[in-house]
Amino acid sequence: MSTSRAPTMSAHRQTLTTSLTALTLFVFATNTTITAQNLNQGACADEKIVLEGCNATDVAACEANCGLHESTYLLDKCCKHAGINANILAFEKADAWIPRIEEYGKCTGANIRLQYVAGGEDEMGDALIEDVGENEDDKTGQGIYDAYIVQAPWLPPVYKGLKTLTEYIKENDEHIKFLDINQASRSAVSFDGLVRALPLDTDYISLGWRQDVFDNEAIKTSYNATWGEMLKVPDTIEELVVVSERLNGRHDYNNDGEMDWGFCLTPQTNYFQAFLAPVLQTHLNECEVVEGGYKCVGADTGQNMFFDVDNFEPLIYNEGFRYAVEMYSRFIMASNCQNQTADGVKCDRKTAFPTGRCAGVISMPGTMTNLLREGGKYAPKSDKRMDNVLKPGQYWGRRKVFPGSDKVINWNKEGRPLEDCAGEVCPLAKNGINYAPFFSEGGESYALNGRQSKPTATDAMWDMFTWLSTLPVGEVPLAGVYRKSQLTEEAMEHLAKAWNNTVMAQDLHDVLDEYFRSEEDGGNTVQDLFIIGFAEYNEALDTELHKNLILEDVKEGGLFNMTDPSESINPVKNKVEFEERYNRFIANLAMRYDDVHAMQDGGALNQLSLWRGALNIHPTKSKEQICQELLATDHKSFNKLECINVVVLKDLCQSQKEDVEEYAPDTCKVDNNNSTVIMAVLFAIIGAGLVGGLVYYMYKRYVNYIRIQKAHEQLMEATLNESVRALYQLDYPLHLIRGDEFVEEGKLMRHEVLRNTHKLTVLDSLPDVDAFIEAGKHVLFFSHQWTSFTSPDPSNIQYQAMCEAVKELAKRNGWNHNLKDVFVWVDYSSIPQVNPSTQNLAIRSLAAYASSATYFVIVAPDTPHADLDDMCDLGTYQRRMWCRAEQVCHSMRNGTEGMYLGTGKTSPLEPVKSDFFRESLHVFNGELTCCRLEHKGMGACDRQSLVIPLLGLYGELYRASCEMNKKGNAEALASVNAFLNEIEKHQEEVFPRTFQRVIWRKNRRVTEEVLLFGDLIDRMKARISSGVGFEIDDEKTATISTKASDTFVRHGASDFLRHGIVHGSGAQGSNHNGVQIETAVRKLDDNVL
């Protein structure tokens, strides 16, 4: 468990041969005892590894060696890894390492070598880069180690070289219980939606306070008489500062006759950030008013305490940041620093607290326990305390959640002013106080080398990690309480027994019960800056805040008076002096941050992209989208992020003409090609010498025009090609839930819950989907509207209609009543809801999902909208653009025979009428939320995302008609032509060339005409008519059949051809025995199929 925040990371990486300590632990599968003398001397690298005593047939020995600490995980792994050598690199020593590695070796036969980095956590980040290699460079890592003990801040530069643990966790989750680990620790080790390390610890900041000080009657009486208030343990950061100032220099806590301090600390960036967090972050999701308060589970707010998620401007130019600096500087002046800094020694809680002169302390969890626990490494002895004031059952060393703030910034007002914590500004407040626990650094986690490690070594290390995750927290090296299950009454009793202290165990429970709350439960945890450059950003803040401002001598421009600390500059008493120094601090910090941005590959724009990903911000935005929005709203940031190197202004003339012209006038001006040529010829005749320069200029403009025309043609062709490719590939696998499990759930379940409980069947490609259906499986696509802004079906009415539809279809078609051959697709369960990157990929595949289903059910019973005074029904469903799009994607490929209505009025299911598609075809007349919100804060309209899938489906339909005309398939041709005729009559409505978009720019409402289909429909017709058709790269798409055939009928349909499109070759999955379909945790074998 980390006990301090490293202020810097070595700027010059040392090679492992010099940075690693000689201390290497060799643990063998024998009964060898490793003594302290062995450790001090180190072990010879050439020492022979002995593989004795591991006999898998010795049942008694296996049970004795593999069933330790009440864990059953290793019971079936006796001697499993005999003879396997694996190396693990760590940064912090712990006594528990030796016995755990020895026990694991005795059971499995594995030889685990543990080695420490000589520089500890200051050098571990560099050592990881040296051994793993950086993300985009898989050839430089030395690959000496198979596994690592890591902290989250070290992962961003190397995570792509670490083994993805997601599948490993799925396979072993009955032991690991990943969701039992607190949310902050899980988030800290996840990148791009994949887990890269296994958290077995967590780090956070809390407040320690001495009950013998706060319950001392003499101190309480004096405090009340002096200040007119009762002494109490602080609940806000302002109370913490005021109480610390009032106690400082007025009371003797350790009975030495000298007046003592307020609270103590070690000045570090993470402790300042603990002050900053509750001022800057109030809620991570948009909130709605509910009975008794607010519910905050809506769209991401982007709130954090480091950088703006829209432009990466540091969040230092607001009243809240200044308020936190003021509070923090006053706190330091009343702490142990007033004496230690003046004496020229390090201001350190670990040396100050044992003296008994501190009324309390700020610290991370591991050190906090050693500060407060009787006999702890940094605890004051009894003769330096006032235990005589304590009542029976009380204890002197207490712990509580870090104070919140009754003042917060208002993110919705210009300049983000500081306001009282109340109402919608502070929706998660408790008694007018906003709490925001800061999970600094994330705690220790276990990672595997994903590049150079041998599979046998990887398996051995993974088994050890999994085993450690099942052990009681006290048996795991470096770990503190990090799981929700470790807060149970039984777990706390066990901890109280280990500590011999019930009060400390209960305090820890109360702190973590608050800190481990998820966002859904009202939690407001603050994430650390987990991006590349973490150490450098912290070094910049540490240097400017501590070294150059708070602890710098007033004579050198700082706040601290080295001669007389009591005369240090106070933000309240010395406003002018503080103002001048604070402004210089902000300017210098901003420049240092800019320097750090410039050091990173891709500069500030890439850092912004990484930061949005680390915060899991929805919706995801590419760098191009970020820049396009800045072009419309913030030219200063557009320039600062060097967006001009990312976007081509001329390419944006169609969609953002006004923005482009405002930024760079005349960029979008188009010259008449013919006039240019004629003018050039006339001037040449009159006199080449006189107008040569002008001719050359005109010629260059002409060439530029031709280049733009060529680029436009290439873009159009690329769009046509992409629309064809979309028919044959899934950008994200199809996720289905089996019918019986869907009905048993009782409500619509979120995708991540089903995934983590292994209830999703995953089909990775469209050939897999066809093979799955040919094997006798039935895929039901449920199309419905959300009846709340934050929940798909809060009333459960639609879910009940879906269950009835599943049962009714099974009954009508004679399917097995157990529903195990029925598989359901529904958005909330089948599309990722948490990770924005994977969610976007799934949405891009929506057309393929809908068109691949065997049955399409519209679920639209009368249902009240939870947030609006409206009734949702078939009419409101049919008005939604996305609902129409899903229908069209299915019906254009499969006809309407397998489409049903589930309104709950007369029967569970009603077949749609054959002409039902006519209204649905007018997709772009439907309503969209983005348009209702007038695209505020958005780059594009959802209409634009449907161009490629609908263009591809139209091309497939048109090609089928052409092929069937040649072959004379009249019955199928009639069905296909019904669609084409309706499209032909209303082509400008079905596939509009442009549309009017309302958007807000610089607080101004703008209406603009934006290209949608343009002439793409005509181009698609011309391509197919010319015989080019759907020629694609078979190797890339794994698609073999690209020509129409009247032999492949849609899944079960008799009146509509599926246009001959087979997603894979006939040899793939064409029969039951050849099908291999993987679920999230297993393959569906013959017993399932």
| Structure-derived torsion over alpha carbons of residues 577, 579, 582, 583, reported in degrees to the nearest 10 | -120
Question: Poorest-confidence range of 49-63, 357-371, 1024-1038?
Answer: 1024-1038
Rounded CA gap, 523 and 517, in Å?
5
3-class DSSP state of 393:
coil
Please give the pLDDT value at position 685. 59
Parallel, antiparallel, or unpaired for β 1077-1078 and 899-902?
A: unpaired
Q: How many other β-carbons are positioned within 10 Å of the β-carbon of residue 1007? A: 9
Rounded CA gap, 1024 and 1004, in Å?
44
Quickly state the pLDDT bin for 700 (edges 50, 70, 90): low
Residue among 1023, 1020, 1064 at smallest CA distance from 1042: 1064
Parallel, antiparallel, or unpaired for β 734-738 and 822-825?
A: antiparallel
Please give the pLDDT value at position 707. 66
Question: Poorest-confidence range of 207-216, 298-307, 663-672, 978-987?
Answer: 663-672
Give exposure, 43-57, as e/b (b: 16+ Cβ within 10 Å). Answer: beeeeeeebebbeee
At 651, list the tokens.
Answer: 């390419």
Of residues 961 and 23, more confidently modeled: 961
Cβ burial, residue 222 (10 Å; 0-12/13-18/19+): middle
**DSSP code string of 630-698:** HHHH-HHHHHHTTGGGT--GGGGTTTSHHHHHHHSTTTT----HHHHHHHHHHHHHHHHHHHHHHHHHH
For residue 263, give the H/E element and its range.
strand 263-264
Please give the pLDDT value at position 3. 44
> Is the per-residue pLDDT at 931 higher than 90?
no
Mean pLDDT of 482-493: 91
Of residues 296 and 197, more confidently modeled: 197
Mean pLDDT of the chain: 84
Mean pLDDT of 608-628: 89
Work out the angle at residue 1084's Cα, subtended by the Cα atoms of residues 1079 and 1085, and round it to the nearest 5 degrees: 155
Residues 973-1012: tens digit of each pLDDT:
676 777 788 888 888 888 999 998 888 776 678 888 888 9
Integer CA distances (angstroms), 560 to 243, 323, 549, 585, 617, in order: 20, 18, 8, 14, 40
Mean pLDDT of 454-476: 94
Rounded CA gap, 439 and 2, in Å?
12
Residues 819-845: tens digit of each pLDDT:
999 999 999 999 998 776 677 778 878
> Is the per-residue pLDDT at 813 higher than 70?
yes
Please give the pLDDT value at position 1086. 34
Predicted model pTM: 0.64
Please give the pLDDT value at position 1059. 34
Residues 677-686: tens digit of each pLDDT:
445 545 555 6
Please give the pLDDT value at position 591. 95
> Is the per-residue pLDDT at 814 higher than 60?
yes
Residue among 241, 413, 259 at smallest CA distance from 329: 241
Residues 132-173: tens digit of each pLDDT:
998 877 777 889 999 999 999 999 999 999 999 999 999 999
How far is C-alpha 109 from the chain's CA centre?
Answer: 38
Quickly state the pLDDT bin for 303 (edges 50, 70, 90): very high
Quickly state the pLDDT bin for 282 (edges 50, 70, 90): very high
Rounded CA gap, 288 and 299, in Å?
11
Rounded CA gap, 530 and 192, in Å?
13
Please give the pLDDT value at position 8. 40
Residues 754-775: tens digit of each pLDDT:
998 889 999 988 888 989 999 9
Residue among 518, 362, 528, 522 at smallest CA distance from 439: 528
Please give the pLDDT value at position 590. 96
> Is the per-residue pLDDT at 1066 higher than 80?
no
Integer CA distances (angstroms), 229 to 225, 241, 251, in order: 8, 15, 17
Mean pLDDT of 783-811: 90
Quickly state the pLDDT bin for 905 (edges 50, 70, 90): low
Please give the pLDDT value at position 229. 96
Please give the pLDDT value at position 1005. 80
Mean pLDDT of 543-566: 96
Quickly state the pLDDT bin for 274 (edges 50, 70, 90): very high
- Pinpoint the alpha helices (H) of 142-287: 166-176, 183-188, 211-214, 217-227, 237-247, 269-280
Of residues 504 and 50, more confidently modeled: 504
Please give the pLDDT value at position 705. 63
Please give the pLDDT value at position 155. 93
